[in-house]
């Protein structure tokens, strides 16, 4: 039962007292009042009372309606609360399921067929390593060939500076081809697939090797240049396609170690080219064309081995939407029918980047979310090439000779570089998934910085102290050791890891293009830099190493044991925080401006 409002209760009480008083007066007859008049007053007051009661009923009805509305709102709030609880439980179950899936992914091991597929793929990186180092040892033989061809053509001797320039072209045009190949890698990967692109690329490898191998027979150093350019395109495509293929077929817990196999193949190729380039084998005036032509072997071997391997399951599922083909590929690679965890991880990656599918290079550069990983990928590639390592690879024999070693000792020291690269890359394979990419890269850059300073010091005082030439050799070898620990393999691997399936080909193309451009600049510019800076040749590389170490320390995230989805989310959240900070800053600026304006206005009034 609803009680009357206080005001109405008071009014009723007053009216009741008035009525009682009137009735008492009528009964006592103290005053001569007419009964009719008194009754009229009573009727009037009763009418007012009736109106007040009706008003009260109206207020009570409104209160009832308000109470019904409040009850409905309370019911809605309770329903929303129940839905939130259900959603929280669902999210918790989803997180638990994702955690269990990741644990199962981390338990996957290396299978025989996966090892075979990786071996077949990394022959492309062996090709890259071989052709990077093969031009080093026969430098004098190639220069003599150029002198002879020039004299036969024009009947006069060519100057030593011109020969050096021609040789620099032979060295650096390989990097120009690498730029073309690296830039085309994303398009080739999306159109023909990772495996399909590698198979087609071997045609270029065979053509380039044949051109270099028949250079002396044709008596044309232009053929050498063209062959080096074609093999450069081949190697540029390999540096884009091979890391992409391996990162996409490797299990989550082995992705770092297997990614390091890329660098292992590069170092094996370097070592093989250096061993075959000594005078006792093919480092002669007659043998150097065969040395260059042997680049045909990795191409033919990959053409024989790779067709048996499956296409990248990620490419099949996410890019082509061929789920059953992806399942077949995974069953072969994992040697198990239980591939649902991998499929779920790929689906999660696909959902995370649906808005970025088939992304172009222009869209990649303009995307705020992807700008940070792109900058990191590019700087990581620059940290590899501008570290000075290619100056060692291309010109180590000449470098050791100028430091005081004999020609034969310099060539064997160059072979030592290749052997150390192979050994240290093998050491870094298990460390990659234990220590982490970022940590190893920091150690590598730091060690290279220290020993680049030692190289400069040894150059400066080698004329005063005879045995300082050996310090130069040791410092160079240690420089290579730290390169193999981090910067040798991590830039290739981390660039593929930083991006999801959609933008990954475009990102690899840009990163590889930058890598080869820096490669070209070092290859073409190092001889001039060496002649102008002389004993201070490695100081610019020391400065670059310091900059890259600081950048890695401050900006590069750790990608060890993270899924592609988690890495993408890492940059997305970081970008959201930056946007939020920028928005807040903008709001604060507007408020500050408004406050200032109001204050000025008030001051003017005063």
404 with 471: CB under 8 angstroms? no
205 with 127: CB under 8 angstroms? yes
Q: What is the pTM of this model?
A: 0.69
CA–CA dist 260, 427 (Å, integer): 10
194 with 248: CB under 8 angstroms? yes
What is the arithmetic mean of pLDDT over 372-394? 86
Quickly count: other Cβ atoms within 10 Å of residue 548's Cβ: 25
CA–CA dist 105, 253 (Å, integer): 7
Between 165 and 403, residue with greater pLDDT: 165
Between 279 and 293, residue with greater pLDDT: 293
pLDDT number for residue 150: 93
- CB within 8 Å of 319: residues ≥ 6 apart: 190, 501
Determine which of 404-408, 438-442, 534-538 has the lowest per-residue pLDDT on average.
404-408
- The model's pLDDT over 471-491, given as tens digits with 9 standing for 90+, comes to 878 888 899 889 988 888 788
Q: Which of 261, 243, 311, 252 is nearest to 494 (CA)?
A: 243
| Listed ranges 39-53, 272-286, 591-605; the one with the highest mean pLDDT | 272-286
The distance in angstroms from the start CA to the end CA of the chain is 62
Q: Taking 70 as the threshold, does the pLDDT of residue 585 lie above it?
A: no
CA–CA dist 245, 185 (Å, integer): 12
Task: Indicate the pLDDT class of residue 592, thresholds 50, 70 and 90.
Answer: very low
Q: Taking 70 as the threshold, does the pLDDT of residue 34 lie above it?
A: no
Between 493 and 146, residue with greater pLDDT: 146
Measure Cα distances from 535 to 452, 454, 456, 461, 472 in Å: 12, 12, 6, 9, 11
Q: Taking 60 as the threshold, does the pLDDT of residue 579 lie above it?
A: no
Q: 556: left (phi > 0), else alpha (psi -120 to 50), else beta?
A: beta
- The model's pLDDT over 306-361, given as tens digits with 9 standing for 90+, comes to 999 999 998 998 888 888 999 999 999 888 887 877 888 788 777 766 655 557 77
Q: What is the 3-state secondary structure (H, E, C) of 376-428?
A: HHHHHHHHHHCCCHHHHHHHHHHHHHHCCCCHHHHHHHHHHHHHHHHHHHHHH
The sign of the torsion formed by the CA atoms of 386, 387, 390, 396 equals: positive
CA–CA dist 478, 458 (Å, integer): 13
pLDDT number for residue 600: 45
Determine which of 336-350, 539-553, 575-589 has the lowest per-residue pLDDT on average.
575-589
Cα angle 373, 379, 381; round to 5: 105
pLDDT number for residue 297: 96
CA–CA dist 527, 241 (Å, integer): 31
pLDDT number for residue 208: 96
Q: What is the DSSP string of 301-351?
A: HHHHHGGGSPPPHHIIIIIS--HHHHHHHHHHHHTSS--HHHHHHHHHHHH
| Listed ranges 42-46, 178-182, 355-359, 520-524; the one with the highest mean pLDDT | 178-182
Share above pLDDT 90 across residues of the chain, in percent, rounded to a whole number: 28
463 with 402: CB under 8 angstroms? no
Mean pLDDT, the chain, as a whole number? Answer: 81
What is the arithmetic mean of pLDDT over 431-446? 86
Give the rounded distance of the alpha carbon of 385 from its chain centre: 17
**What does the block give as tokens for 267?**
């170092």
What is the arithmetic mean of pLDDT over 242-248? 89
């Amino acid at each position: 039962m609803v009680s009357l409002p206080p005001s109405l209760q008071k009014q009723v009480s007053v009216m009741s007292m008035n009525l009682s008083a009137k009735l008492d007066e009528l009964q006592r007859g103290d005053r001569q009042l007419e009964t009719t008049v008194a009754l009229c007053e009573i009727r009037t007051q009763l009418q007012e009372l009736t109106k007040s009661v009706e008003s009260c009923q109206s207020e009570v009805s409104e209160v009832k309606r308000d109470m019904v509305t409040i009850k409905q709102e309370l019911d809605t709030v309770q329903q929303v609360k129940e839905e939130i609880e259900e959603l929280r439980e669902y999210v918790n179950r989803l997180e638990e399921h994702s955690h269990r899936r990741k644990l199962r992914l981390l338990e996957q091991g290396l299978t025989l067929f996966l090892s075979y597929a990786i071996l077949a793929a990394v022959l492309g990186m062996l090709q890259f390593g071989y052709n990077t180092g093969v031009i080093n040892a026969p430098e004098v033989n190639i220069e003599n060939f150029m002198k002879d061809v020039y004299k036969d053509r024009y009947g006069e001797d060519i100057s030593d500076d011109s020969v050096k320039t021609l040789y620099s072209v032979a060295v650096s045009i390989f990097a120009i081809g690498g730029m073309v190949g690296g830039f085309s890698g994303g398009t080739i990967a999306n159109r023909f697939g990772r495996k399909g692109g590698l198979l087609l690329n071997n045609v270029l490898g065979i053509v380039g090797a044949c051109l270099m191998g028949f250079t002396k027979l044709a008596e044309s150093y232009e053929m050498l240049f063209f062959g080096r350019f074609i093999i450069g395109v081949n190697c540029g495509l390999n540096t884009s396609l091979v890391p992409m293929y391996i990162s996409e077929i490797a299990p989550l817990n082995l992705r770092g170690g297997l990614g390091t196999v890329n660098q292992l193949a590069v170092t094996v190729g370097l070592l093989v080219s250096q061993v075959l380039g000594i005078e006792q084998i093919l480092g002669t005036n007659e043998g150097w064309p065969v040395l260059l032509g042997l680049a045909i072997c990795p191409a033919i071997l990959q053409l024989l081995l790779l067709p048996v391997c499956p296409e990248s399951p990620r490419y099949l599922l996410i890019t082509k939407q061929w789920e059953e083909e992806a399942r077949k590929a995974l069953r072969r690679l994992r040697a198990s029918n239980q591939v649902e965890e991998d499929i779920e991880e790929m689906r999660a990656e696909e959902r995370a980047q649906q808005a970025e599918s088939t992304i172009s290079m222009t869209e990649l550069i303009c995307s705020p979310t992807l700008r940070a990983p792109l900058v990191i990928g590019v700087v990581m590639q620059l940290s590899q090439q501008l570290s000075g390592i290619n100056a060692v690879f291309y010109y180590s024999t000449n470098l050791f000779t100028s430091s005081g070693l004999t020609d034969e000792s310099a060539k064997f020291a160059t072979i030592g570089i290749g052997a150390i690269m192979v050994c240290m890359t093998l050491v870094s394979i298990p460390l990659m998934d234990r220590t982490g990419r970022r940590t190893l890269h920091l150690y590598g850059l730091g060690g290279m910085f220290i020993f680049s300073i030692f190289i400069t010091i040894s150059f400066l005082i080698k004329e005063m102290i005879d045995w300082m030439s050996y310090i130069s050799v040791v410092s160079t070898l240690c420089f290579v050791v730290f390169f193999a620990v981090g910067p040798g393999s991590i830039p290739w691997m981390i660039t593929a890891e930083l991006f999801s399936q959609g933008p990954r080909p475009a990102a690899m193309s840009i990163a590889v293009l930058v890598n080869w451009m820096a490669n070209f600049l070092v290859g073409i510019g190092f001889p001039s830099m060496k002649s102008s800076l002389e004993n201070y040749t490695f100081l610019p590389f020391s400065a670059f190493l310091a900059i890259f170490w600081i950048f890695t320390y401050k900006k590069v995230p750790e990608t060890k044991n993270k899924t592609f989805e988690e890495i993408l989310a890492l940059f997305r959240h970081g970008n959201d925080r930056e946007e939020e900070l920028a928005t807040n800053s903008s709001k604060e600026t507007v408020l500050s401006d408004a406050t200032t304006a109001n204050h000025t206005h008030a001051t003017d009034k005063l």
